[in-house]
């Protein structure tokens, strides 16, 4: 019998990944039970009808054949203009590769930056696919742990120590952050930039939540001095335009990197459907108003959540500054995130993600996706807080 490659067999790593509660919730829903699902990052609205009309028009007009590999000129130009406008760093179409979503961009970026067996760093807690993406690209994932007490922000020493210890080739960062909801401040991004320049690291900057900012401002590491030559920015229209199913995103990088990434795309994806790219051009041309319309439900629910959380002292939270998630600290209950999430599902039919599914650093936490209607979301969060209150040990002294 022929064997499967060790590369594909190792993508998922080993051990419990904390996703059991998610699959249990899905099974309950399939069995007809009512479950409030605050698990994955999928909007409760669909792609705007005007974007679908643009897609339909493009397909009817015949844009259903192979599209040019780096992406159609109009879309590469639109992305380049957007990045130039947002960062002040001159960006041309030659700096842009259109990809089928941010996920494939993350994979391609690691393929470009890491030799087989080289170490690729990422920050714990992390978006669940990161280690598997790195392994799929043939590199070795190495987490850099952060602490809840530091709002899960990395710093120069932690990055520098890991880069030195492992001779790392790349560092993957994500702001606004999934799962923590933190927007990296300038000082953290400067630490990242200094460590990258000191240790000759590529920075792969996942900015797929750039349009969901509740506090502060989004800053791309590519905008910092010297960083445009060593940063690959991963972007996507999944979250900004509720286009998760259209699979449309990009990489922005130095021109010579994009040339090589085009070779990879030629031999893997063979491009992105032309009618989807035309719809993306249309969507980007609608400007910030449409992006704010897509972000607005999360902005509202985040405000609701803050008022609920401020009225109690059992459940703590990591500063909620961006992205569609809340990271809650349930350590006062003495439970792991996984045990709490399972108990909440069993008792109240509310499904949340255990912090542990996003790395060891987030144990004792849970992540909520703010992806159900405002009233159901508020009821679920109030129920969660009361439930946590009933679980705290009698000797617990609130801070």
Judged by the rule CB under 6 A, the positions of this chain that interact with ligand PLP are 41, 101-103, 127, 174, 178, 206, 208, 236, 238, 244, 249
Name the token pair of 397.
């002294």
Distances in Å between the Cα of 38 and the Cα atoms of 1, 228, 361, 367, 373 are 43, 37, 21, 8, 11
Which one, 101 or 316, has the nearer CB to ligand PLP?
A: 101
Which one, 123 or 345, has the nearer CB to ligand PLP?
A: 123
* Min dist. Cβ of residue 161 to ligand PLP (A): 24
* Min dist. Cβ of residue 68 to ligand PLP (A): 21
Which one, 102 or 131, has the nearer CB to ligand PLP?
A: 102
205: enclosing H helix or E strand: strand 202-206
Q: How many alpha carbons fall within 13 Å on the CB side of residue 269? A: 26
Which one, 251 or 314, has the nearer CB to ligand PLP?
A: 251
* Min dist. Cβ of residue 130 to ligand PLP (A): 8
* Min dist. Cβ of residue 285 to ligand PLP (A): 20
Residue 194 DSSP symbol: H
3-state secondary structure of 213: strand
Distances in Å between the Cα of 148 and the Cα atoms of 61, 156, 182, 195 are 52, 17, 11, 22
Q: Give the C-alpha separation, 223 to 221, whole Å.
A: 5
Name the token pair of 143.
């987490």
* Min dist. Cβ of residue 284 to ligand PLP (A): 15
Which one, 237 or 335, has the nearer CB to ligand PLP?
A: 237
Which one, 101 or 355, has the nearer CB to ligand PLP?
A: 101
* Min dist. Cβ of residue 32 to ligand PLP (A): 27
Residue 361: closest CA among 183, 168, 153 = 153
By beta carbon distance, the residue nearest ligand PLP is 102
Please say whether the beta carbons of 110 and 142 come within 8 A.
Answer: no
């Amino acid at each position: 019998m022929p064997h499967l490659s060790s590369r594909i067999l190792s993508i998922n790593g080993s051990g419990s990944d904390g996703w059991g509660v998610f699959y249990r919730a899905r099974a309950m829903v399939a069995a007809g039970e009512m479950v409030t699902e605050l698990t994955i990052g999928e909007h409760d609205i669909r792609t705007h009808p005007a974007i679908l009309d643009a897609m339909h028009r493009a397909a009817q007009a015949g844009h259903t054949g192979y599209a040019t590999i780096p992406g159609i000129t109009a879309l590469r130009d639109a992305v380049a203009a957007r990045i130039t406008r947002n960062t002040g760093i001159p960006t041309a179409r030659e700096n842009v590769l259109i990809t089928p979503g941010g996920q494939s961009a993350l994979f391609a970026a690691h393929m470009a930056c890491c030799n087989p067996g080289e170490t690729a760093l990422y920050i714990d807690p992390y978006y669940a696919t990161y280690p598997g993406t790195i392994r799929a690209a043939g590199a070795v994932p190495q987490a850099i742990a952060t602490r809840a007490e530091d709002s899960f922000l990395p710093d120069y020493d932690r990055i520098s120590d890991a880069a030195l210890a492992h001779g790392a080739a790349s560092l993957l960062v994500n702001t606004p952050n999934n799962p923590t909801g933190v927007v990296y401040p300038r000082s953290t991004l400067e630490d990242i930039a200094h460590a990258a320049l000191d240790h000759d690291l590529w920075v792969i900057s996942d900015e797929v939540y750039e349009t969901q900012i509740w506090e502060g401002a989004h800053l791309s590491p590519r905008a910092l001095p010297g960083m445009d030559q060593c940063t690959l920015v991963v972007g996507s229209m999944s979250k900004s335009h509720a286009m998760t199913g259209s699979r449309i995103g990009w990489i922005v990088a130095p021109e010579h990197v994009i040339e090589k990434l085009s070779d990879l795309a030629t031999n893997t994806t063979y491009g992105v459907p032309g009618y989807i790219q035309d719809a993306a051009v249309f969507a980007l041309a609608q400007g910030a108003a449409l992006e704010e319309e897509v972000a607005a439900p999360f902005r509202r629910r985040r405000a609701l959540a803050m008022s609920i959380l401020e009225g109690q002292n059992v459940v703590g939270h990591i500063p909620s500054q961006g992205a569609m998630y809340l990271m809650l600290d349930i350590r006062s209950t003495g439970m792991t995130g996984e045990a709490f999430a399972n108990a909440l599902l069993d008792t109240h039919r509310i499904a949340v993600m255990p912090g542990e599914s996003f790395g060891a650093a987030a144990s004792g936490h849970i992540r909520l996706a703010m992806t159900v209607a405002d009233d159901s979301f508020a009821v679920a969060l109030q129920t969660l807080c009361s439930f946590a209150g009933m679980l705290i040990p009698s000797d617990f002294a609130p801070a």
